[in-house]
Structure 1
Amino acid sequence: MVIAMTTDRSTPRGADDGPPDREVTAFRNVLNELKATGCTLLVVGDAPQEVFTRASSQLLGDPEMLRYRVLAVTDATTQSVTERLPDAETVPRPLAETTRLLNHAGTPRSVTTESAAQSDLAEIRETCVADPHLRGLQSGLTEAIRDVAHHSGGLDPADLRVGIDSLTPLVEHHGESVVRRCLDMVGGHVRDNNGMAHYVLPSDYDTERVQSLVPAVDAAIELRTANADEHDAQQRWHVPDRGLRTDWTPL
């Protein structure tokens, strides 16, 4: 897929206005660098939940590749958890060996046993975070990352995939500054293991809420739907520190 580029200081180009090759190359170099050294991503935008679930599934890694996944949920449904994790029959190793779930819902509930239909989740290790403060979630995530790193036998770049869905209740309850400190701490552990983390926040990119958290991540992925059909979802990436922004491309 060819990724068209703009800079944040210019008006986005149309689909027929090809950008200079150097801009495309610059963005690809940034993506390769983030993947090699570890990164954190903020997934935002005005789109249906199904679109965020699809984007999260992609960021958690190719199901046919060996990936170690740590997924924390605060308000995600059991169905959305199932949809973003790979099918148990496609992965090279059992999900029970490679996947950790953390449940930080306001009222703790098991996302692995909520419905008999979610049998693929039944064997996955789930931790219910009882501490209502962010320290509990932060500790749970860092412990899960350490556990994965210890039992993996060695992580290559991008082997570790971490996700939080979503930040909305955390920001509403604790405020942006507290959540940002939590993301800074978790991000440090992710980068130490050359992993990739993404945090879902369904809000427009230009809102104060999103902009307050952008400094805590390496890039933001903005989502939208081209029309009422979520299957026509689009994405564009923002890398503010490099002054880079992609044009809209299919998700």
Structure 2
Amino acid sequence: MTTDSSTPRGGDDGPPDDQINEFLNVLNELKATGCNLLVVGDAPREVFTRASSQLLGDPDILRYRVLAVTDATTQSVADRLPDAETTPRPLTETTRIVNHAGAPRSVTAQSEAAPPELAGIHETCVADPQLQGLQSSLAEAIQAVARNAGALDPSDLRVGVDSLTPLVEHHGEEVVRNCLELVGAYVRDNDAMAHYVLPDEYDAERVQSLVPSVDAVIELRTVNPDERGHDVEQRWHVPDRDITSGWTPL
């Protein structure tokens, strides 16, 4: 699956070639039918911003983006979006932000703290503290993008949520799992690709509790760049197919 530039490849500690081929076939299948990805790992938040940026699509390819933020910083929102000068169409035409921050704050409103590249992007500030408000706003944003874009090819629409941490802590795992399943249905209906950030270790209880609600899990870790030649690696899990990739550079 192109994500677009983070497709896993075989590594020195990766599985045999036949398993890699099986894995890539599964990812291509998910891409064609719409998929939901959980992004996890014991890593700094900056690493998740980098991964999210890749999952939202290459800057020189026309992609439509819906980004929901709960505890992501304004700067990290800007960092994961492509440079407006390189995109085929303006971000104001292709991007929507759903703001579900605990303390109401606009991501796109002009202020000294707001990056100028976010100016003019459509933003929905969710006032409902319960998850119904976020669910409804995400569903409406996905449908609005699909309607305005016309015909969308698989994975043209990218959805991101950063992060699930305050949602799980406030509402509990079962409520968040139901939210993922509801939003995920809209994602699949539009052949979109969604990712949800949860900065916990892959084996953590609350990560495993959400795994059944997604199609695959991307696990992140930091490594010594002097030894590896890169500082972050990813490993993909597709639990219902019993498939795990090797560690590869992000």
Give TM-score, length-normalised by structure 2: 0.92
Instruction: Give the residue type in structure 1 aligned to 2:49.
Output: T
Q: Name the CA shift for 1:49/1:155 in 2 (closer, same or farther; >3 Å).
A: same
Matches within 5 A, 1:123-134: 123-134=120-131
Give the corresponding residue for 1:75: 71
Deviations 1:55-99 (A, max 9, x none): 000000111111010000000001100000001001000101100
What secondary structure, in the 3-state scheme, does the structure 1 residue paired with 2:67 have? strand
Q: Name the CA shift for 1:187/1:18 in 2 (closer, same or farther; >3 Å).
A: closer
Give the corresponding residue for 2:158: 161
TM-aligned CA deviation for residue 41 of structure 1: 0.2
- In structure 2, C-alpha distance between the alignment counterparts of 1:176 and 1:247, rounded to whole Å: 28
Give the corresponding residue for 2:25: 29
Listed as ranges, the gaps of 5+ residues in structure 2 are 1-6
Give the corresponding residue for 1:84: 80
TM-aligned CA deviation for residue 112 of structure 1: 1.1
TM-aligned CA deviation for residue 115 of structure 1: 3.6
TM-aligned CA deviation for residue 123 of structure 1: 1.0
- In structure 1, C-alpha distance between the alignment counterparts of 2:136 and 2:13, rounded to whole Å: 47
- In structure 1, C-alpha distance between the alignment counterparts of 2:36 and 2:126, rounded to whole Å: 22
Whether 2:74 is the aligned partner of 1:42: answer: no
Instruction: Give the residue type in structure 2 aligned to 1:30.
Output: V
Give the corresponding residue for 2:4: none
Number of matched pairs: 241
Q: Which runs of 4+ in 1 moved over 4 A?
A: 15-18
TM-aligned CA deviation for residue 240 of structure 1: 0.4
- In structure 2, C-alpha distance between the alignment counterparts of 1:69 and 1:198, rounded to whole Å: 11
> What is the identity percentage for the equivalent residue pairs of Structure 1 and Structure 2?
73
Moved more, 19-28 or 217-226: 19-28
Give the corresponding residue for 1:7: none
Instruction: Give the residue type in structure 2 aligned to 1:109.
Output: R
Q: Name the CA shift for 1:2/1:120 in 2 (closer, same or farther; >3 Å).
A: closer
Give the corresponding residue for 1:96: 92
What secondary structure, in the 3-state scheme, does the structure 2 residue paired with 1:43 have? strand
Listed as ranges, the gaps of 5+ residues in structure 1 are 5-14
Give the corresponding residue for 2:221: 224
Give TM-score, length-normalised by structure 1: 0.92
Q: Name the CA shift for 1:22/1:85 in 2 (closer, same or farther; >3 Å).
A: same
Matches within 5 A, 1:189-208: 189-208=186-205
What secondary structure, in the 3-state scheme, does the structure 2 residue paired with 1:180 have? helix
Instruction: Give the residue type in structure 2 aligned to 1:158.
Output: S
Matches within 5 A, 1:162-177: 162-177=159-174
